[in-house]
Amino acid sequence: MYEGLFQPMHLLILGGCGVAVAVVVILIAVVILTIRRAPPPAPTAKALPVEDRLAHLARLREQGLVSEDEFRQKRQQLLDEI
């Protein structure tokens, strides 16, 4: 019956030390929850198949974001990985 009241009494008895401990416990809980909710890292370019990377490179060339020379150089690098 008094269990719910007894626990906060420890914080009152310990004074500032109890409050500091409570704050540390809350901060640890927040860090743990943040880590658990963190999204998985995005796949790196090397994690994607070479075919997908070549298609992406071709789209960049079509959009004019890479020059023809840059396209050829990077395309050869990708083909050398096969």
What residue segments make up the domains of the chain, in order of their start? 3-37, 45-80
**At residue 78, does pLDDT exceed 70?**
yes
Alpha-carbon dihedral angle through residues 42, 44, 49, 50, given to the nearest 10 degrees: 150
Using one digit for the tens of pLDDT, what is the confidence trace for 44-55?
766 789 999 999
Using one digit for the tens of pLDDT, what is the confidence trace for 50-75?
999 999 999 999 999 999 999 999 99
d(CA 19, CA 11): 6
pTM of the predicted model over 0.75: no
